[in-house]
Structure 1
């Protein structure tokens, strides 16, 4: 298996950068973390938010799950992993920005749109149903469009569902209303290589970082 030796070699590079040759990078980090940004991203191996944004250790507090979903606030018995992470980031770390980062070609959204085809197990199906409002909206407005367009629309609408669900947490709502924290909906189009952001004033996702233009070969 080639992956494990490659991972170990990668850790050695990390070690050389941050711990060897007199580096003091982790001197402060070992005493605690003070990130100002919470990123809620998908578990998809292609969309690591730290890699996408070129972040250093300690720059962002990250929660990753299938389809970058946030459930609504509830106190029912259960293991509320995402809610616990959001609570820690907001109430303990005091983050100033929360980014929900969606992406194209999302397997979780595909599972939501075609549960029979994807042959979901016992945990995925109920989880992705958090985004059912997004699917209903797409089916109502874009029923005559091709699947590719509808999937992109559903991926973006699911980001908005998560943003709405964040506001059901009272301590998130209070900090947003006081202007102490800001919510952002981002969408990484991995087919086009561009980053979009939701703009409430236009009701659409607009480029934050547009796709790079390919230069013609000489």
Structure 2
């Protein structure tokens, strides 16, 4: 049984608009990308959240960013156990094949995934504790952030602290990948921890010397 359906009409119209304008005006560039392959300058790991649009934030063109998105923009620890690891595979490809020079992990405000982890760890979302919950088992990656941010302000303050700490958990996990650690130590790769305030449009980066996120 084939369950795939034709595109919604509004997407068809948007495609034809793109093909007639942006693509038509940049045909040579698209052909070059197709023929010469990609040479992205950076990899970006960010949340699936539709409000997070990293190419717009940084004004990136096609071919500039190798982008991987998942719930809360997390990176799991290195665990070559034969499972299906889409994020780990994307990181491996970016670092060992594309040899990107920069890897950005981007968190954001009002993250539903982080909120879910908070509620799960607080005993407020028992459905996420079920072994059959893909979201819950993915958000287990963030349990260290829940523990590290306990006692910080009210709930809104704690959630923002978790969102930022989630990025640092991912950076810590990236360093458990041998090929990432090797590239970082050889100064062939730089890791960057960022947080985007969606409403205000602000981007903050983690400064390891000051131990805090600062405005870009």
The answer to whether TM tops 0.5 is yes
Q: Which residue number corresponds to residue 46 of structure 1?
A: 51
SS of alignment partner, residue 156 of structure 1: helix
> How far apart are residue 77 of structure 1 and its match?
2.1
Distance 1:122 1:23, change over 3 A: same
1:130 counterpart (141, 146, 149): 141
Choose 21-30 or 73-82, whichever is displaced more. 21-30
**Equivalent in the alignment of 2:32:** 28
Aligned: 1:76 with 2:81: yes
Q: Which residue of 2 aligns with 1:62?
A: 67
Q: Does 1:146 align with 2:157?
A: no
Q: Does 1:37 align with 2:42?
A: yes
- CA distance in 2 between counterparts of 1:56 and 1:7 reads 21
* 1:147–1:11 distance in 2 versus 1, CA, 3 Å: same
- Contact 1:73–1:165 at 8 Å: present in 2 too? yes
Structure 1 residues 25 and 113, CA gap change in structure 2 (3 angstroms): same
Unaligned 5+ segments in structure 2 are: 1-6
Aligned to 1:8: 12
CA distance in 2, matches of 1:49, 1:7: 21
Partner of 1:19, secondary structure, is helix
Distance, in Å, in 2 between the alignment partners of 1:13 and 1:57 is 17
Question: Does the residue aligned with 2:107 lie in a helix, a strand or coil?
Answer: strand
Q: Which moved more, 1:4-13 or 1:125-134?
A: 4-13
Gaps of 5+ in 1: 209-218
8 Å CA contact 1:101–1:185 kept in 2: the answer is yes
* TM-score, normalised via structure 1 length: 0.88
CA contact (8 A) 1:17 1:23 kept: no
- Quote how far apart the aligned CAs of 1:18 are: 4.2
Is 2:100 the counterpart of 1:87?
A: no
The size of the alignment, in residue pairs, is 203
Q: What TM-score comes out, normalization by structure 2 length?
A: 0.89
Q: 1:147 to 1:28 in 2, by over 3 A?
A: same
